[in-house]
Amino acid sequence: MAERMSTRIRYDRIRDNGAISRTVNGHRKRKERASRDVRMVQLIKAGRFPYTPAVRSWISTKLGIPFRQVTEEQAKALAK
């Protein structure tokens, strides 16, 4: 049986591993957000208003307002 590790050491290891994980995942998410932005802009250019739910969510997040308040001109402006 393995020797028991002290609680402080265990929690220090958990904290350190979490910090590393957040850093790695943060870089990965930044790349994913950039590729999602490109993909959504292409969908806006190709599609017609009102868009699919995924595009609606992206538009409302970018504009900071609910999609029901978004006009077609605002959505097209995001695609430029």
Token reading at 51: 């868009």
How many Å apart are CA 72 and CA 54, to the nearest integer?
Answer: 16
Which pLDDT tens digit goes with each residue over 20-51? 999 999 999 999 999 999 999 999 999 999 99
SS3 37: helix
Domain assignment present for residue 2? The answer is no
The predicted model scores a pTM of: 0.72
Domain assignment present for residue 23? The answer is yes
Please say if the pLDDT value at position 1 is more than 90. Answer: no
Boundaries of domain holding 48: 7-78
Domain assignment present for residue 63? The answer is yes
pLDDT band at residue 72 using 50, 70 and 90 as cut-offs = very high
Longest dimension (CA), the chain: 67
Residue 3's pLDDT is what?
Answer: 86
How distant, in Å, are the alpha carbons of 9, 29, 37, 50, 71 from that of 41? Answer: 48, 18, 6, 14, 16
Residue 13's pLDDT is what?
Answer: 97
